[in-house]
Amino acid sequence: MPPCPSKALLKPLWAKCTNWWAPGRLPPLRLLFLGRSVGIGRCWTGTARPRGKTPLADNKPASGFIIAAPTSGSGKTTIALGLAAALRNRGVKVAPAKTGPDYIDTAFLSEAAEFQAVNLDPWAMAPDQLRARAASQSLGADLLLVEGVMGLFDGAADATGSTADLAAILQLPVFLVVDVVRQSQSVAALVSGFVNWRKDIKIAGLILNNVGSARHDLLLRRALEALEIPILGSIPRDAGLAQPQRHLGLLLPDEIENFGVFVRRAAKTVSAHCDLEKIRARATPVGEGELPKSLVPLGQNIAIAKDRAFAFLYRHWLNEWQAMGATFSFFSPLANESVPESADAVFLPGGYPELHGEQLAGCTGFFTSLNMARDRGALIYGECGGFMVLGQTLADKNGNTHRMAGLLPHETRIDRPCRVLGYRRLSHDSPLPWNAKLTGHEFHYSTGSGHELPPLFQARDALGGELAPMGAISGRVMGSYAHVIDVDGGGQA
């Protein structure tokens, strides 16, 4: 596959994507393409930016806002998807973003907005990095729509990295989605508490969700009058919207039956029950930003595994790597495609290889090409699922063991309900070209064993507690369970 063009850095990154994918190179399925589920040949907007201060298109800044909620499960993802699609349907160019490290919600937002979403993580990224990436993402768009994570004030174990922290850093207004089921006047006390908890953020509007009736709506509005916060929407209970929420954040868009129908229904509901013009009017300009430092490319010509088994890749990496002159070649291990011979670096991202163990085990062409890349000195790096595939074997949840690439000596197995989850501060002294100190996160159900190689990372959790060393290095082949997010910029300021 020919590499991504590196010219015209301020043009859409995927403007010629239909030319990059040769017919017949991929199986007839929808793929999670750079964090987004797309059909083959489908092309959505997204741009790469050079380092330094981010210019504003035509000197006119995009405006932005953050969709947050008091708790998880309040419906903020559904409403964010509905807003993105509804505004897009009105001709508004919406640039979406997700608070935190989540790959899957960015895929949903990208699908709804038809614009590649990025992650803005206030725990893992320093304030200057956040401001620069928010400005970069909104370049050329009309509106930056940021979906929050968990409850508005919920963060990592060290109580930082919340949606509220991001709102304070970016100085964007917060629209609070409040699930009003089984309450009426009490909603005023809840909202008042959120409004007054922190003075460095502004809750600029409310969207009431799961409103039971016209009378329920009236009671809620009367109770909230004294707070003088605009009610931007009142969403009625809708079983058709409630049911799919059980899957949001757990499955890729591809894997949710009739996901497109769900997004269209959410957009129709939001259009009917929210004041879209008032929402746009209450958004505020996105500021400029200068990116002080970022992860350098793994190589000049980077081969990146991309299919259902290798789906988790941060968009800000690609934007910034391309701006530094790197080129990319995407290949599908599940289709038994080979690592391109021109690659001087190979990246196996995270994903769900455990769901495709048997198929991967039969992809001998892929494994052979990976060994050839190793033999010619290419740097080979695997994260989480990619790290699992670099090992000897993978045992799935049913206990079936599948042969893997064998470039590292470890063996992995799925070990539910054992779950490892959390932010990580990482340090290393390895052939990785990245800074010695990094931020990342870990989320997996598998465990690895059976090697005595040097570890790739020394790791600490969000509270600074020392963890067991992570990963393995063998020459220029390396990997770990950590998903690296960024250069460690020293936290919030």
- Per the DSSP assignment, residues forming a β-bridge with 291 are 52
Is 418 labeled as catalytic in the residue annotation? no
Q: What six digits make up the tokens of 129?
A: 């990095």
Cβ within 8 Å of residue 65, ≥6 positions away: 143, 144, 145, 146, 172, 173, 174, 175, 204, 279, 282, 283, 284
Angle between helices 127-138 and 163-170 (to 10 degrees): 70
Residue 189, judged by CB atoms within 10 A of its CB (0-12, 13-18, 19+), counts as exposed
Pairing relationship of beta strands 420-427 and 458-460 according to DSSP bridges: antiparallel
The length of the chain is 493
The rounded distance, in Å, linking the Cα atoms of 439 and 426 is 6
From the candidates 4, 43, 384, 418, which is the catalytic residue?
384
The rounded distance, in Å, linking the Cα atoms of 285 and 283 is 7
Q: What six digits make up the tokens of 419?
A: 């779950």
- Catalytic residue numbers, as ranges: 384
